[in-house]
Structure 1
Amino acid sequence: MRRVNILGVEISAVNKETAIQYLLKNMDKARGRYICACNVHTTVTAHENLDYQAVQNNSFMTLPDGKPLSSVGIRRGYSEMGRVTGPDFMEQVIAATEKSDARHYFYGTTQENLNALLEYLKVNYPQLSIVGCEPSLFRPLTIQEETELCDRINESKADFVWVALGAPRQEKFCAKLSKNTNAVWIAVGGAFNVISGVIPRAPQWMQDHSLEWLYRWSKEPKRLFKRYAETNSKFIFYLIKEKVEKR
């Protein structure tokens, strides 16, 4: 799997099709490991925090969840790169494995939102094997709780563990616990709520033109303004700084 280094973060040079093909073809290698979906915000966070950067770089795959990342990759010669969002990747894997023996475990968000996801999956993927689901406790787990969670996952014989806790917590969570199981853990942020319809997704034309961020900002302007303004500015600054330093 080829990767492109963007501000110290090794982003997998994949697109929607090649990402899922690589995972399903290499499931034996993916077991006990984890997958991240990296965007501008997490890239800047990882650039500034070396511990979190190591988590991203030690993943089985770090998906380019964000047009700026795939655009940088393409400009650097990785022509195959394309945006791979958490919701898209999750639903693609689910669709591809619905009629197989693959088992899925869901961890994160609230019980109410988790119920909405399960209802959606039962209607749209009735043959999907769901072997476990539990909401986030919205606090760090104790060592005993971590052990018990891994035991439940192993007892369920899950192949995929989908984790929705929000970055950077979810990636650290997956990196710490995945090795204690025989499943691949996939950090997908708000994918549970997006796929179930709890959080409306941007119209397709906005997704196609990389304007999904603008749609999200219009829905939560107060919460997202500082994040977008600060991290996007830092991302551009760090890229320019990196380019100057390499001259």
Structure 2
Amino acid sequence: MINRGKYSVLGVEISAIDYEYGVEAIINAAKARSPLAMTALAVHGVMTGFSDPVHRRRLNAFDLVTPDGQPVRWALNWIHGIKLPDRVYGPTLTLKVLEAAAIEGLPVYFYGSKQETLDLLLEKLQIKFPGLKVVGAEPSKFRRLTPQEKQEVVNRINNSGATITFVGLGCPRQEVWVYEYHNHLSMPLMAVGAAFDFHAGTVSQAPSWMQKRGLEWFYRLIQEPGRLWKRYLLLNPMYLTFTFLQMLSISKQPVLKPTGMEPEESYG
């Protein structure tokens, strides 16, 4: 049986959970109107935390950090012997939570991406989940928000009646956003990255056989080589190297506590 705790992968605490556990935790928090910070991390997200101690403390303050990429799941299994059977992929978890929210009548909110992407996303989701209650959606401003703008965002989401907010700002901006807002919004905040684009149909997903073999990064690199080449061709070898070194290490890396950190102005 899997011990559904958190385990260090390069100092970032990853939740060893499956989809069923993740959906249940999020839906229960939504029903209880309780704050819950969640993100799904692939290699890029883990390496961002590994290389930035401040951001690592943010990530380690999250309630759920799911192994979004197969290499992150593999690291959990290799280093800690967990035998997690599958990753918990942000776009798939998004659909599973939306399906449960539609069944339970839980209103949802979408924050991030572009207006045209949101329009396409909501159109397709309403077809897929006819009972889904979408009570708000607003695009990113693609800059830091002022304190007044941040409070206005909090007010809009709170006043909408939403019980779950999906955040699609890209890594690491979306994790910064969730970290800063989760104490102001009594609901689960889900940082789900490219899920908005995938489900809107503006970006195609890798074939399932590539996803299962951990080759999704290669598919995305071919799609956007100019933007992603540094992320994958530099970070992936670094990730494998440091993961191997952690495997060889006798002592596990220390758990970092989210203390002594000044919040930044929020991304929007």
Same fold at TM > 0.5: yes
Match of 2:256 in 1: none
Q: Which has the higher contact order (CA 8 A, sep 6+)?
A: 2
Could you give the per-residue CA deviations for residues 13-63 of structure 1, whole angstroms, max 9, x where no partner exists? 012233223333454678223101111111111011111111111111001
Q: Aligned partner of 2:110: which letter?
A: F
Aligned residues, how many?
247
Say which SS state the counterpart of residue 4 (structure 1) adopts. strand
- Residue ranges of structure 1 left out of the alignment (5+ in a row): none
Alpha-carbon distance between aligned partners in 1 of 2:147 and 2:196, rounded to the nearest angstrom: 26
Q: Quick one: distance in 1 between partners of 2:7 and 2:168?
A: 25
- Equivalence for 2:198: 194
1:101-151 Cα distance to aligned partner (Å, 9 max, x none): 211000101101110101111111111010111000010111011111111
Of 19, 24, 39 in structure 1, the residue corresponding to residue 22 of structure 2 is 19
When you count helix as a share of all residues, which structure comes out higher? Answer: 1
Distance, in Å, in 2 between the alignment partners of 1:243 and 1:200 is: 34
Q: Distance in 2 between matches of 1:236 and 1:29?
A: 40
What is the rounded CA distance, in whole Å, between the counterparts of 2:84 and 2:207 in structure 1?
Answer: 25
Distance 2:71 2:249 in 1: 21
Contact residue 29 and residue 188 of structure 2 kept, 8 A? no
2:74 counterpart of 1:71: yes
Tell me the distance in 1 between the aligned counterparts of 2:103 and 2:245.
Answer: 49
Q: Which amino acid aligns with 1:83?
A: R
Mapped pair 1:156 → 2:160:
yes
Aligned match of 1:57 in 47, 56, 60?
A: 60
Tell me the distance in 1 between the aligned counterparts of 2:63 and 2:33.
6
Task: Check if 1:184 corresponds to 2:188.
Answer: yes
| TM-score normalised to structure 2 length | 0.87
Distance 1:122 1:27 in 2: 20
Distance 2:33 2:175 in 1: 15
| Amino acid across the alignment from 2:45 | T
**CA apart distance, 1:245:** 4.6
Among 167, 190, 212, the residue aligned to 2:216:
212
Query: Does structure 1 residue 41 correspond to structure 2 residue 47?
Result: no
Give the alignment's TM-score, normalised by structure 1: 0.94
Task: State percent identity of aligned pairs.
Answer: 34
Aligned residue number for residue 259 of structure 2: none
For 1:29 and 1:83, how far apart are their aligned partners in 2? 27
2:121–2:199 Cα contact (<8 Å) kept: yes
- Quote the Cα distance in structure 2 between the aligned partners of 1:30 and 1:80: 30
Per the alignment, residue 110 of structure 1 pairs with: 114
Distance 1:24 1:127 in 2: 16
Tell me the SS of whatever aligns to 2:82.
Answer: coil
Task: Indicate if the aligned counterparts of 1:30 and 1:60 stay in contact, CA closer than 8 A.
Answer: no
Could you give the per-residue CA deviations for residues 147-169 of structure 1, whole angstroms, max 9, x where no partner exists?
11111111112111111111111
- Let me know the Cα RMSD of the aligned residues: 1.7
Q: After superposition, what is the alpha-carbon deviation per residue over 1:84-109, rounded to whole angstroms, capped at 9, x for unaligned? A: 11111111100122122211000101
How far did 1:227 drift?
Answer: 1.2
